Amino acid sequence: MELTPNSFAMSVDAGGILEPWTSKIERRLSDMAGMYADPDAERDAIAAGDAVVYEVYQHDMPNHAGELVVCTTLLYPGKVGDEFFMTKGHYHEIRERAEVYYGLSGEGQLVLAKDDGAAEAIPMRPGTVAYVAPCWAHRTVNTGSEPFVFLAVYHGDAGHDYGTIETEGFPLLVLERDGEVAVVSRQEAQ
């Protein structure tokens, strides 16, 4: 496999877009159907316009542990019922692959979970550098009223396992309760 031969610079523009990017992901509510806690609110939100929830601008790299993929995520503000807009969330296919998130603008929560049931949430704002340790699933949530933008760096061979989260979900939900941001266990929310 050919490794990236030369060093180079990337930049993030005022809108949070990584330049130069080589691939872009856009996810709407319908692309993550079944992930929000309130199925009726989710169905209504999809019928009411199926909003774009987030975009990822990524500079792809060779699939090799020695490489680092860089990307920015623009997670838009919004709610499904009382649950804030969020990413799908995933484990890395190679579970031992860590990741770094760096908050650029807006505010949110980084929700983390492990397959032994452990879970926690790290608040993120501009300047927050969050270390996603090996073996933790991760999802971000926009708890503000403007786009929550962050940069991520992860190993070229990490891969993404979405299926486990699609089946099992996260143990923690991030909701608006009485006008405040509340991180609650899924059982407590039901």
CA 34/CA 43 separation, integer angstroms: 9
Residue 130 binds to ligand PAN (criterion: CB under 6 A): no
Q: Are 104 and 149 in contact (CB under 8 A)?
A: yes
* Binding-site size, Zn ion (CB under 5 A): 1
CA 59/CA 57 separation, integer angstroms: 7
Q: How far is CA 62 from the centre of its chain?
A: 22
The pattern of x and - marking residues 4 through 43 that bind ligand PAN according to CB under 6 A reads ----------------------------------------
In the complex, what is the shortest distance from the CB of residue 154 to Zn ion, in angstroms, rounded to a whole number? 5
Interface of this chain with Zn ion, residues 73 to 112, rule: CB under 5 A: 99
Q: What is the DSSP string of 129-151?
A: EEEE-TT-EEEEEE-SSS-EEEE
Choice from 28, 43, 79, 88 touching ligand PAN (CB under 6 A):
88
Binding residues (CB under 6 A) for ligand PAN: these are: 56, 71, 73, 87-90, 99, 138, 140, 152, 154, 160
